[in-house]
Amino acid sequence: MSPTPASLTDLAQGKTLLRPSDAVAQGRSRLYLAQLARRGLIHKVSRGLYALPQRQASEFAGLAEVASKHPQVLVCLLSALAFHGLTTQAPFEVWVAVDNKARAPQFDYPPLRVARFSGPALTEGVALHDIEGVSVKVTSVAKTIADCFKFRNKIGLDVALEALKEAWHTKRVTMDELWHYGQICRVQNVMRPYLEGLTA
């Protein structure tokens, strides 16, 4: 018997993205979603990830897709800047952070750019955001800026400075927050002249 739109909605439980584990949780086979995709009832997004036909992909669909399959990853750096509206760049990769000792997540599309964080740099300044029914971990504005200074050789100092100035002028960060995360990321001395320049 073909699943009805209502039964697919029940399976999704408010989400537009589904994994085989979602089907198993509802008493179905791990192959159930693949079978539905072959019949054209849902869409395959990437290996092990499927979307309901009514899904309206948002601007940050890639973040939801990655977090749906790898809920432990932390969206950071250029992807976090784009999410917070602090860069004119539109990264084609999703930048994620994982623990220094963790295995790098694999994803077909969108491509991932993996950064290694550890300790408080991985756990502090993290906020959960609901994107398409998926809970996505994203670094806060101030933490993202500190991360950008730490990884300035990879993303460019100009990107970090653009984000810092925009966040400061739009009052989205405080000096205390910037200094706090600068210390956590061990870049307070790098950031110091730029922070002093904001209040000069």
pLDDT string in tens for the chain (200-residue length): 455 444 565 665 566 666 666 777 777 776 776 777 777 767 666 666 676 666 665 667 788 888 888 888 899 999 999 999 988 777 778 899 988 888 887 777 778 889 999 899 999 999 999 887 778 899 999 999 999 999 999 999 999 999 999 999 999 999 999 999 999 999 999 999 999 988 76
Both 101 and 80 in a single domain?
A: yes
Both 67 and 41 in a single domain?
A: no
From the list 28, 21, 30, the residue with the least C-alpha distance to 3 is 28
Show the CA angle centred on residue 98, arms to residues 93 and 102, nearest 5°.
125
Does 85 reside within a domain?
yes
What distances in angstroms separate CA 80 from CA 1, 19, 63, 177, one per listed residue?
Answer: 43, 24, 10, 17
Q: What is the pLDDT of residue 47?
A: 66
Both 33 and 118 in a single domain?
A: no
Last residue of a domain, which of 15, 30, 51? 51
Does 153 reside within a domain?
yes
Both 82 and 166 in a single domain?
A: yes
Does 138 reside within a domain?
yes
**Rounded Cα distance, 146 and 152, in Å:** 10
**Rounded Cα distance, 61 and 136, in Å:** 11
Specify the number of domains making up the chain.
Answer: 2
Please state whether beta strands 112-117 and 94-99 pair in parallel, antiparallel, or not at all (unpaired).
parallel
Both 102 and 191 in a single domain?
A: yes
Both 38 and 98 in a single domain?
A: no
Does 106 reside within a domain?
yes
Tokens of 120: 């408080």
Spell 113-133 as b/e; 16+ CB within 10 A means b.
bbbebeeebbeebeeeeebbe
Tokens of 54: 């009514």
Does 180 reside within a domain?
yes
Cβ(99)–Cβ(118) below 8 Å: yes
Both 79 and 165 in a single domain?
A: yes
By residue range, what is the domain housing residue 106?
A: 61-199
Both 86 and 147 in a single domain?
A: yes
Does 56 reside within a domain?
no
Q: Tell me 105's DSSP state.
A: P
Both 172 and 195 in a single domain?
A: yes
Cβ(123)–Cβ(50) below 8 Å: no
Q: What is the pLDDT of residue 88?
A: 75
Both 13 and 110 in a single domain?
A: no
**Rounded Cα distance, 93 and 22, in Å:** 26
